[in-house]
Amino acid sequence: MNHRTNTPLLVALREQKATRLKGGIYHRTQVDLTYNSNRIEGSRLTHEQTRCIFETNTIGLTNDAVNVDDILETVNHFRCVDRIIDEADQPLTEALIKELHATLKQSTTDSRREWFAVGDYKRLPNEVGGMETCPPEEVADRMQSLLAAYRADPHPTLESLIDFHHRFESIHPFQDGNGRVGRLILFKECLGQAIVPFIITDRLKPFYYRGLREWGRMNGYLLDTCLTAQDEYRALMQYFRIGE
């Protein structure tokens, strides 16, 4: 059984979420995690627009056309972040992973496509970065094996969480949204395992992708990228005077 604990960070995130405190680490985490994770996947929204949506439920003034799906997935991602904070100290389950995907894609263009399985595993083969992924008919078994192996680890480390993330992204279980769901899971499990969580910023995107490609051959690439992101989030915790 994995060890779960309520760290000062998790306590602060839950308290600030409950009170909707503005300007604290919950507020900053919501905006930064949502902006960067969506941006990595092609969202055109700026950090300022993302912050505006979170704070006022409006997009703010803009001279450029805005993709409605970018707005919907931003709002949906805020809800996903709330969910992983709520569930941080609970075991990771297949049901939760599917619920995160369903929430992320709710009411989007993808949700109206018959072939797109919102909240369920992919029906059509897909690839990522030109690389083949798990065939649709094998996804359920591969995901169950992945989760069983993870739950068997009594003391997950940062490196084992990154390995889980790589395996999840290699399976690529959903038609779309795998990167964002995968990074939400990674943040959740760091929170639950008393490991300082981290946000892969858009600036780190090329190093993150290189690390995913090279994992298993040169693990240092992805590990170093995640450690850099972890240092940045640790500095944020220190600013808000939250201990580890």
Active-site annotation, residues = 172
Looking at residue 144, its amino acid is Q
Looking at residue 131, its amino acid is M
Separation CA 47–CA 52 (nearest Å): 9
180 carries a ligand binding annotation:
yes
Contacts of 56 (CB under 8 A, 6+ apart): none
Residue length of the chain: 244
Other Cβ atoms closer than 10 A to 221: 18
Helix (H, G, I), strand (E, B) or coil at 132: strand
220 carries a ligand binding annotation:
no
> Which candidate, 158, 207, 210, places its Cα nearest to that of 186?
158
209 carries a ligand binding annotation:
yes
Looking at residue 200, its amino acid is I
Separation CA 111–CA 85 (nearest Å): 25
176 carries a ligand binding annotation:
yes
CA dihedral 55, 53, 187, 91 (to 10 degrees): 90
178 carries a ligand binding annotation:
yes
182 carries a ligand binding annotation:
yes
183 carries a ligand binding annotation:
yes
Contacts of 157 (CB under 8 A, 6+ apart): 195
181 carries a ligand binding annotation:
yes
Looking at residue 88, its amino acid is A
Helix (H, G, I), strand (E, B) or coil at 217: coil
- Per the annotation, binding residues for ATP are 176-183, 208-209
- Per the annotation, binding residues are 176-183, 208-209
